[in-house]
Structure 1
Amino acid sequence: MSIKADLIIENANIFTSDANKPHAEALAIKGNRIVFVGANEDVGQYKDTSTRVINGMGHTITPGFIDSHFHLLWGSISMGGAQLYEVKGFDDLQATLQSFEKENKTSEWVEGRGIKYNIISGRDELDKIIPDRPVYINAYDGHTSWANTKALEMAGILQPGVDAPGNGVIVRDENGMATGELRETAMNMVSDLIPEPSEARKRELLISTIKKINATGVTSVHNMNGEMEEMMFYAALEDTGELNLRVYVPYWVKPETTEEMLKEAAEMMKIQGEFARGGAAKFFMDGVWESYTALNVDPYADDPEAKPDGIYSLEHFTRMAALCDKMGLQIFVHCCGDGAVRRVLDGYEAVQRSNGKRDSRHRVEHIEVIHPDDIPRFTQLGVLPSMQTSHAPFSMSEGDVWPTRVGEKRWPLSFAWRNMKEAGNNIAFGSDWPVAPYDPMINLHVGLNREKWNPTDPDQTLSLEELIIGYTRDAAYAEFKENEKGQIKEGYLADVVLFSHDLFALDPKEILTAKPTMTIVDGKIVFEA
């Protein structure tokens, strides 16, 4: 007698991400597992009077999307501030911040998140908007912020003579006064003054945000900043059944991290819940192009005098990475510049020589620019690329500062998804939320339709199949879970998304018209339109 399913979806166009059975019409779920994938005429044996049967109406079903680069708690907390992602100019910024100020009268600070570069230059403009309360706003990429005079005074950095720690920069005018622009670790000199929300408020923001994330078809994330405290926050939600998102949490290794401190990463690795688990370490090798903190092989195109060094020397990175590797940790490293990518690959190569080669699946995150000599090194070293399509400026008409910083000579290997794919790499895709929207459809859209900045540039776009596989099967492989999820396959976890359209019948330029209508996590419907 066959198993009787709790849920069946039939008459669908199922893209399984399973190379051995790429397409199907129906699936059946029992508990938290997929028990059948196949034809409509064969799924009937799994039906019972208690089985919920859904007509897929020919629409696409995919495995749940796995976002391979995410900042879950940080992003959720930022949802409590003013949202500046859609701000187009100073007037927009003024209206948004003043509206937030009126709605949050009891809060000492006015803070916001998501502003684009070139909209504001410093404290004078923020003083015009709100002069009598401290104001702190963060760029969309999280690597530059702006503060008003009140906030700079409170931090004690308005006047000359104070430097930022590490790779931070307090931008100053010709008289040495802080302009209000703060880069990298200089941001902490102000942001550390802002009171953290209560634990109850964090929990409220996190649960609310997870519901919104589920509504876009995301069922798992690889969290890119963490420590035991954050891990336990997720584990507590899992214990109460409120964590409807699988979260892989690395330990954030900072320049000041010691070998003794890595014991926390080892403790996190022991936590292996169905939803919250450890087992990785995260490094930052450089900053970002926009703030002149990306580590490059050649100088910046628009400012050759800007010569940032990496956050780690090669020796320092290799030493710490070797310790992590010896512990059995997977390693993720933020690298925007081609110099950062090269230094990390050099470090991974040195680690293999010292520790021996194993199935480590160490990763390089972002890879916004890569030198052609370094593309084949990924497959040679067994290193995985993790990339975010929506980081790429969609077209030159957007007026983004990124292409100017990089310069035309580097455009052909900027966001080089096609080059990386053709070199034999399986790319894990994600969003880097809250740097970019978490909605996978936006990332699919950019990956499918991004315009060339120069007609002679190579076409770096990918097919819909390649993008979905990168968001599912390859993303699961990038966290050692390829035998559990990332495919619609019998015995796999029931993390599934049903869409409003047949994605493969749409013109690629119309992909944004499609939305999830149902998201299933662990066999449970967590979103239904």
Structure 2
Amino acid sequence: MPQPADLIISNARVLTQDLVVPRAAAVAVRGTRIVAVGSAEDCAELKGPATRLVDAQQCTLLPGFIDSHLHLLWGAIGLGHAQLQAAASVADVQRLLREHDLAHAGQPGLRGQGLRYNIISERAQLDVVAADRPLLVTAYDGHTAWANTCALQQAGILNGGEPTGPNSVIVRDAAGVATGELREAGAMEPVRQLFPDPTAARQRELVLQAVQLLNAAGVTSVHNMDGDLEQMHLYQAMELAHEINLRVYVPYHVTPAATLEMLAAAAEMQSVRGAFVRGGAAKFFMDGVLESYTALLVTPYADAPHTRGDALFSLEHFIRMASACDRMGLQVAVHCCGDGAVRRALDGFAEIRRLNGPRDSRHRIEHIELIAPSDLQRFRKLGVIASMQTAHCPPDMLATDVWPARAGHDRWPLSFAWRALRTCGAHFVNGSDWSVAPFNPMLGLDAGLNRLPWAPGQPNDHLTLYQLLPGYTRDAAWAEFKEHEKGRICSGLLADLVLLDADLEQTTPELVKNVRPVMTIVDGRIVHGA
């Protein structure tokens, strides 16, 4: 007599993401593992007196969503700032900042996040909200910020001073006075230092809040695209206390200032192999973003022909540091928005393979907002994963987004080239880049399903549901070397599951964004839903 299951979900439309048995009607769970997948009759044999039975009512059951690009701590800390995503005007920004300030009285400074470009243009627009204490507002992508006069004065950069890091700009007027716009980390850092980091207890509280929100969206695993030992220890403490219902893959962030000796921290993180928290990767930022002209392009920007942008790493510097990571057995992920940055990373990976020899490295390039035609085939040849975020793509030319003008019409055919990369045989995984974009996977599916060409004659890079789902499940697990543990609904794999409130296959593409999880299961435990 087989041991009874703890949970049986039946009457479901199970999309297993398993190529051998792609569909089923029921799933049984015992402990932390899936123990049966098949018909209702198959799983009913495992019913016992204490088995919980769930009628899925012909709704879709999927492997838990894996977000392949997310900033957990950054996003969590941002939950404590004024949320400016809905702001469409300067007046909106000022109102939202004042409302947040009123609700959080007594703070020595004021911060906002999620702002779109082309709204704030000068520090005076922030001075009217707070003139006597620092105020810093960050763009939705985190690569540009706007500060008030007080913040610039206290940071010592109002009338002089230089960025503290590469590929960074303190925008100044004709008289040399800072306008308030700060591009990239080296320009923002002097102002950021005015704002104390949340205490360890507060960080833990905010991460717990973020995990609960992620679980409610059906997310059960994330590839955290920044990290250090301190962050790793925070997640480990939460795992030991059984507080974190989310599997977190944490890389070591290799900054331009990092030395080979500092990679000892990456080795220490690599040794962490918890059920929920583990290391084994390194993250580089090759360039910035097109919006602030800090992404590295092959040819000049369409609306700024005097510049191609810049990079944080020269090719030689990247090869030196990334080849050391590769020799350590680390997976290397590289932020590359511009086509010049993508090419530099691919050139680096090719040289690293020559130096160290081929291995199952599964190195990755993140974002790939632009790519040159000659580089499409190189992803397959080098075995490099294309880690992209469908929600980053402006949906149409009516959107209030500066990105298409930065790239220019001639580059649109290979902008956010999801289909072209897939056609060339690249491994494709999907994510959100939260807090840059919402972490709701349904919004990522919506962006991928409903994308339209920006102009007549442009290729249509939209994807089908069956092309998108593996990037959130099976292929995302493969991208973190966990394909034998999760990402599919198969007997013996981890019981990370999400039950939706609709039959996804019968939902029209335009309505997919409205579908919601009714139950999320992590490690065999229901962490969201009744």
Q: TM-score band, normalised by the shorter chain?
A: over 0.9
Counterparts of 1:162 and 1:287 in 2: how far apart (Å)?
18
User: Offset at 1:506?
Assistant: 0.7
User: Offset at 1:163?
Assistant: 4.5
Number of the residue aligned with 2:307: 306
Number of the residue aligned with 1:93: 93
| Higher mean displacement: 94-103 or 491-500 | 94-103
Number of the residue aligned with 1:247: 248
Q: Deviation digits for residues 72-119 of structure 1, max 9, x if unmatched?
A: 011101101101111111121111001111122211011011100011
Number of the residue aligned with 1:321: 322
1:515-526 superposed matches below 5 A = 515-526=516-527
Number of the residue aligned with 1:196: 197
Counterparts of 1:227 and 1:405 in 2: how far apart (Å)?
33
Number of the residue aligned with 2:507: 506
Amino acid at match of 1:174: A
Counterparts of 1:465 and 1:23 in 2: how far apart (Å)?
13
Number of the residue aligned with 1:50: 50
Number of the residue aligned with 1:369: 370
Counterparts of 2:183 and 2:133 in 1: how far apart (Å)?
22
Number of the residue aligned with 2:218: 217
Q: Deviation digits for residues 454-474 of structure 1, max 9, x if unmatched?
A: 121111011111111110000
Instruction: Give the alignment's TM-score, normalised by structure 1.
Output: 0.99
Report if aligned partners of 2:36, 2:42 keep a CA contact under 8 Å in 1. Answer: no
Matched, 1:235 2:223: no
- Aligned to 1:195, what secondary structure does the other structure show? coil
- Aligned to 2:128, what secondary structure does the other structure show? helix
Q: Deviation digits for residues 103-139 of structure 1, max 9, x if unmatched?
A: 2221101101110001111201111222222110100
Matched, 1:113 2:104: no
Counterparts of 1:307 and 1:170 in 2: how far apart (Å)?
18
Counterparts of 2:41 and 2:277 in 1: how far apart (Å)?
38
Amino acid at match of 2:211: I
Matched, 1:72 2:72: yes
Counterparts of 2:152 and 2:191 in 1: how far apart (Å)?
7
- Aligned to 1:397, what secondary structure does the other structure show? coil
Q: Deviation digits for residues 378-431 of structure 1, max 9, x if unmatched?
A: 110111110000000011111210000000001010001111111112211000
1:31-430 superposed matches below 5 A = 31-184=31-184, 185-430=186-431
User: Offset at 1:203?
Assistant: 1.0
Counterparts of 1:134 and 1:278 in 2: how far apart (Å)?
36
Counterparts of 1:161 and 1:67 in 2: how far apart (Å)?
39
Counterparts of 2:489 and 2:119 in 1: how far apart (Å)?
44
Report if aligned partners of 2:383, 2:426 keep a CA contact under 8 Å in 1. Answer: no
Identity %: 55
Counterparts of 1:328 and 1:426 in 2: how far apart (Å)?
20
Report if aligned partners of 1:363, 1:383 keep a CA contact under 8 Å in 2. Answer: yes
Amino acid at match of 2:292: S
1:433-512 superposed matches below 5 A = 433-512=434-513
Matched, 1:13 2:13: yes
Report if aligned partners of 1:164, 1:170 keep a CA contact under 8 Å in 2. Answer: no
Amino acid at match of 2:140: Y
Unaligned runs of 5+ in 2: none
- Aligned to 2:249, what secondary structure does the other structure show? strand
Matched, 1:4 2:43: no
Report if aligned partners of 2:380, 2:427 keep a CA contact under 8 Å in 1. Answer: no
Counterparts of 2:150 and 2:388 in 1: how far apart (Å)?
38
Report if aligned partners of 1:388, 1:431 keep a CA contact under 8 Å in 2. Answer: yes
Counterparts of 1:492 and 1:455 in 2: how far apart (Å)?
46
Q: Deviation digits for residues 10-63 of structure 1, max 9, x if unmatched?
A: 000000110001100000000000000001121111101100000011000000
Counterparts of 2:178 and 2:282 in 1: how far apart (Å)?
35
